[in-house]
Amino acid sequence: MSESKTALVIDDEPDIRELLEITLGRMHIETFSVENVAQAKRLLAERDFSICLTDMKLPDGNGLEIVEYIQLHHPRLPVAVITAHGNVDIAIDSMKAGAFDFISKPVDLTALRKLVNTAVRATELETTNREDKQPLLTGESRAMKQLVNSIQKLARSQAPVYVSGESGAGKELVARSIHNLGPRSNKPFIAVNCGAIPRELLESELFGHVKGSFTGAHQDKAGLFRAAEGGTLFFDEVADLPLDMQVKLLRAIQEKKVRPVGAESETATDVRVLCATHKNLENEVSRGHFRQDLFYRLNVIQLNVPALRHRKEDISALACELLEKIASSAGAPTPTLSGNAISALENYSFPGNVRELENILERAFTLCEHDTIQTEDLHLPDSAPKPPPSSPVGGGGKVDYYQNCLEHGSIDEYLEEIEREILCKTLESCRWNKTQAAKKLGVTFRSLRYRLQKLGLDKE
């Protein structure tokens, strides 16, 4: 059985301290309460804790300072902040700084108990089977290692994560990995494709409905939020959510409550929200297609999944692994890929990313009549016109900028793609030495750092 659990509570209000002590005591958690930052730091140096709950306003500092201190000195300790009701900014800032989660005042005891249980599970996961829990992603490139590193850190937190990246790059797999490695792994992971649910059914699909609330509502329906209770909801293609549903989603995330269609009251939910889209969500906000407040709430942490053509080193391992999967599900021996076929794959631009690689291999596996797949079995599309950004950078031929732009959906997306390509190439040529790369590019180090952050290329 697991060892005894301990909590550190930091709050200058005796009533809140007492309430938390009683609640945690009933959960068999030994609680140590202090009133300020200085006392908290002293206690943290003296003993280990399973969870820390801190108020935001403290007599000699604030909760953010505690979060930062714990991140630095006790990174494995989950810390949750107690915020004033409706103070979303503080909640978001603290999660960006590494807080595990937040809870608003007046403290709802059911929500508190759920939060504490999840946090304690996260600590237990840390100390038990960490080795057998690996992200589902294959790849040894620098970019992939960085991504896996971030996933491992984010799995412990409850903060919303916005996964960006091109179609087929592995955004859903990233979301699944965050769920699988975290304390919610024994609860459901539900992926919702926001663009695939008919508009008129969306509200009832997400939040449920009560019997008789509209024609065809023959019985109560729980909805996806409640189906994912205790687990994770992944909103794929979140940019496709209509504006009226965006308002409702915002409310659900902010209040941690949902109201089924036709219901009198709201129901509390405990769900971690992750989202993704292949579109540029910032652009969607500036074009008025996506609500700024929802974007702000979903984009607490952003993770970018690099396009496959920007991590060519991963192609060979990925191809072998995918081929093995394809063969094993067909109950056949795994064919090998010739050296030339691997080189051809490495030189292809993969506009459809890993999904396209899967499709290419599936077709080659089905059609190839030998045990070795050769370049011609891959039927790679003529990759001459791809990738679009490399043409203006290094190409000699005439470039149809207009056509390339149309293919990207917006000029901003297209320009970002070009910028990304230039930065990656330059950094690769300088072995990721940013000072050298900035010099080569004729920009300041600060400017390069800003650009890398903007494009999600600098997560470390």
Ligand X SMILES: Nc1ncnc2c1ncn2[C@@H]1O[C@H](COP(=O)(O)OP(=O)(O)OP(=O)(O)O)[C@@H](O)[C@H]1O
Report whether 270 contacts 312 (CB < 8 A): no
Residue nearest to ligand X as judged by C-beta position = 170
- Alpha-carbon gap, residue 419 to 70, rounded angstroms: 37
Indicate whether 171 belongs to the interface with ligand X (CB under 6 A).
yes
How do strand 79-83 and strand 51-55 relate by DSSP bridges? parallel
Nearer CB in complex with ligand X: 205/356: 356
Both tokens of residue 135?
Answer: 């992200």
Nearer CB in complex with ligand X: 55/358: 358
Nearer CB in complex with ligand X: 355/425: 355
Nearer CB in complex with ligand X: 44/174: 174
- Pick the binder of ligand X from 358, 416, 417, 421 (CB under 6 A): 358
Indicate whether 152 belongs to the interface with ligand X (CB under 6 A).
no
Q: How far is the CB of 138 from ligand X (least distance, A)?
A: 4
CA 80 to chain centre: 19
Nearer CB in complex with ligand X: 138/336: 138
Q: How far is the CB of 170 from ligand X (least distance, A)?
A: 3
Indicate whether 354 belongs to the interface with ligand X (CB under 6 A).
yes
Report whether 448 contacts 433 (CB < 8 A): no
* Binding flags for ligand X, 224-263, as an x/- string (CB under 6 A): ------------x---------------------------
Q: How far is the CB of 164 from ligand X (least distance, A)?
A: 10
Indicate whether 35 belongs to the interface with ligand X (CB under 6 A).
no
Indicate whether 356 belongs to the interface with ligand X (CB under 6 A).
no
CA distances from 59 to 107, 170, 385 (A): 20, 46, 63
Q: How far is the CB of 372 from ligand X (least distance, A)?
A: 23
The 10 Å CB-count burial string (b at 16+, else e) for 420-436 is bbbbbbbbeebeeebee
- Alpha-carbon gap, residue 304 to 423, rounded angstroms: 15
Residue with tokens 């995330």: 253
Nearer CB in complex with ligand X: 220/362: 362
- Pick the binder of ligand X from 6, 23, 36, 138 (CB under 6 A): 138
380-399 positions binding ligand X, by CB under 6 A: none
* Binding flags for ligand X, 415-434, as an x/- string (CB under 6 A): --------------------
Stretches 105-113, 136-144, 336-344, 407-415: which one binds ligand X (CB under 6 A)?
136-144
Q: How far is the CB of 175 from ligand X (least distance, A)?
A: 8
* Binding flags for ligand X, 283-322, as an x/- string (CB under 6 A): -----------------------------------x----
Both tokens of residue 392?
Answer: 């203006």
- Alpha-carbon gap, residue 394 to 444, rounded angstroms: 23
Q: What is the largest CA-CA distance in the chain?
A: 76
Indicate whether 167 belongs to the interface with ligand X (CB under 6 A).
yes
Burial class (CB in 10 A: 0-12, 13-18, 19+), 232: buried
- Alpha-carbon gap, residue 311 to 370, rounded angstroms: 29
Stretches 23-31, 135-143, 383-391, 415-423: which one binds ligand X (CB under 6 A)?
135-143
- Pick the binder of ligand X from 98, 139, 183, 231 (CB under 6 A): 139
- Cα angle 345, 351, 356 (rounded to 5 degrees) comes to 60
Stretches 45-53, 165-173, 327-335, 412-420: which one binds ligand X (CB under 6 A)?
165-173
How do strand 51-55 and strand 5-10 relate by DSSP bridges? parallel
- Alpha-carbon gap, residue 441 to 448, rounded angstroms: 9
Collapsing DSSP to helix, strand or coil, 174 comes out as helix
Q: How far is the CB of 162 from ligand X (least distance, A)?
A: 13
Nearer CB in complex with ligand X: 98/306: 306
- Alpha-carbon gap, residue 310 to 455, rounded angstroms: 13
Indicate whether 170 belongs to the interface with ligand X (CB under 6 A).
yes
* Binding flags for ligand X, 102-131, as an x/- string (CB under 6 A): ------------------------------
DSSP letter for each residue of 63-85: HHHHHHHHHHH-TTS-EEEEE-T
C-alpha dihedral sign at 116, 117, 121, 124: positive
CA distances from 70 to 9, 45, 261 (A): 13, 11, 42
Q: How far is the CB of 399 from ligand X (least distance, A)?
A: 26
Find the Cα–Cα–Cα–Cα dihedral 203, 209, 213, 218, rounded to 10°: 120
Stretches 35-43, 62-70, 101-109, 167-175: which one binds ligand X (CB under 6 A)?
167-175
Stretches 82-90, 166-174, 281-289, 386-394: which one binds ligand X (CB under 6 A)?
166-174
Q: How far is the CB of 62 from ligand X (least distance, A)?
A: 38
Binding site for ligand X (CB under 6 A): 137-139, 165, 167-173, 236, 278, 318, 354-355, 358
